[in-house]
Copies of this chain bind each other. A is one copy, B any other.
C-alpha cells in the first residue's frame, strides 16, 4: 500500500484501521496489522491517535455517523409511512451493499461495551423515535394503517432490513445459497421487504 499525495497519513491510518477493526473487532485487531495495511510505522498510530482505544473510537464514531442518517430517513422525514418504508428499504439495502461490515461491527461493539451507547445518545443528531411515534399513532387513529405500536413497527423495519446482512453466513448455510445467489436475494429484497411490511399493516 503506497501513499498517495491526496491522502495524508492520518487518513490512511483511519482507513486501514477501519478495515482491520471492522473485520476483526476491537479485540481481534492488531496495531501492527493496521500499521502494515497503512504502510507506515507502528509508532505513527500512537502519534496520531494516542492509543488503540482512541483509534478504535475514531473508527466507530465514523461508522456510526454513516448509519445514523439512514435511520433518520425513517424517523424524521416528512413523507408518509408507506413512502418511508419504501424509501428506507431500497436505500438502506443499497447502502449496506456498499458497507457490508458496518452493521455487524456496530452491533457487535455495542454489545461488548454497554456505556458506549451513552456517549452516542448525547449527540444531538442521534436517531430518536418520537416523531415517528406520533406519525404512526396518528395514522393508526385515522385508520390508514392497522393497529401497531411505533416501536414494534420500527423494530420490524430494522430487523427485516439489517438482519440479512448481519447473519449472512448463517442464512447462506440454511438456504443453501452461494454468494451470487445471495446477492440476488438481497437485490430482490429492495422491493420485497417494503411490500412485505406494507402488506402487513395496510387496512383492507
Rounded to whole angstroms, the CA-CA distance of A171 and B110 in the bound complex is: 11
| Residues of A in contact with B, size category | 35 or more
Chain A contact residues, majority secondary structure: helix
Q: Is A39 an interface residue (CB 8 A)?
A: no
A175, B200: Cβ atoms under 8 Å? no
B163, A128: Cβ atoms under 8 Å? no
B151, A192: Cβ atoms under 8 Å? no
Q: Give min CB distance, A8 to chain B, whole Å.
A: 30
Q: Is A156 an interface residue (CB 8 A)?
A: yes
Give how many copies assemble into the complex.
Answer: 2
Q: Give the chain B neighbours of A189 by CB distance below 8 A.
A: 152, 155
Which residues of chain A in 85-131 are interfacial with respect to chain B, using CB atoms and an 8 Å cutoff?
104, 106-108, 110-112, 114, 117, 120-121, 126-130
Residue of B nearest to A28 (CB): B27
Q: Give the chain B neighbours of A27 by CB distance below 8 A.
A: 24-25, 27-28
Rounded to whole angstroms, the CA-CA distance of A146 and B159 in the bound complex is: 21
A192 in complex: contacting residue of B104, B130, B152, CB < 8 Å: B152
Q: Give the chain B neighbours of A127 by CB distance below 8 A.
A: 174
Q: A25-B25, A117-B172 are known; give 17 further A-B pairs, CB within 8 A.
A: A25-B27, A27-B28, A75-B174, A117-B173, A128-B176, A130-B176, A146-B199, A148-B196, A151-B185, A152-B185, A152-B192, A154-B174, A155-B171, A155-B185, A159-B159, A162-B167, A200-B200
